[in-house]
Amino acid sequence: MTDMPQLYLVTPPEIDATFPDQLARVLDTAEIACLRLNLASRDEDRVIRAADACREVAHRFDVPLVITDHAALVDRLGLDGVHLTDPRALRKLRADWGEDPIIGAYCGASRHTGLSAGEAGADYVAFGPVGETTLGSGERAEAALFQWWSEMIEVPVVAEGALDLAAIEMLSQAADFIALGEEIWSAEDPAARLADLTAPLRA
């Protein structure tokens, strides 16, 4: 792989009324390949309101919007696909949906899970976390996994989780997409933070 990774944004787990404007500023300053609505809430009304607000902004910038896990909302809300945190439902979902919409699969640090997801029809697989974190099992997706995947497998691969400048530079030749979420939204100026973190991709 020789092309630099594209950027993939993940929303914060909680968003407020100011987020659409914040999102628009980021999309106006950077070329984003995909946006994932990744809310912690399981309240349907809140998820639907957030999806409507994010869809309006994303589609204004021609950025596809996928939602974490809530596959039943994709068609209903006019979204572009789903990101599955448990890929076991992928094969049936792909059979039900056909080639569209987008189906992505989070596969942790497991090559086997990634291969199974690819065979089941995933449009992309995501491995992570890349950086150090105390969340989840603590197992990290090492650079060697991305390198092997990019050399051997055609299904696009997303790197996500606790990414910093060094990790992004390390993965610049081994990932198809770099997914950033809390890494930028926690900053006072997310657009500026995104520009700083992705400097290695413009070198």
**pLDDT band for position 3 (cuts 50, 70, 90):** confident
β-strands 157-159, 65-68 pairing: unpaired
Given a cut of 60, whether residue 2 has pLDDT beyond it is: no
Q: Is residue 38 part of a domain?
A: yes
Q: Tell whether 1 is covered by a domain.
A: no
Range of the domain at 43: 6-202
Dihedral over Cα of 9, 11, 17, 18: its sign:
negative
Residue 46 forms part of a structural domain: yes
Look at residues 25, 27, 58, 37 and name the one whose alpha carbon lies nearest to residue 188.
25
143 within a domain of the structure (yes/no): yes
Q: Tell whether 43 is covered by a domain.
A: yes
Write out pLDDT tens, residues 52-98. 999 999 999 999 999 999 999 999 999 999 999 999 999 999 999 99
CATH classification at residue 38: 3.20.20.70
Q: pLDDT digits over 142-175, tens only?
A: 999 999 999 999 999 999 999 999 999 999 999 9
Total tally of structural domains belonging to the chain: 1
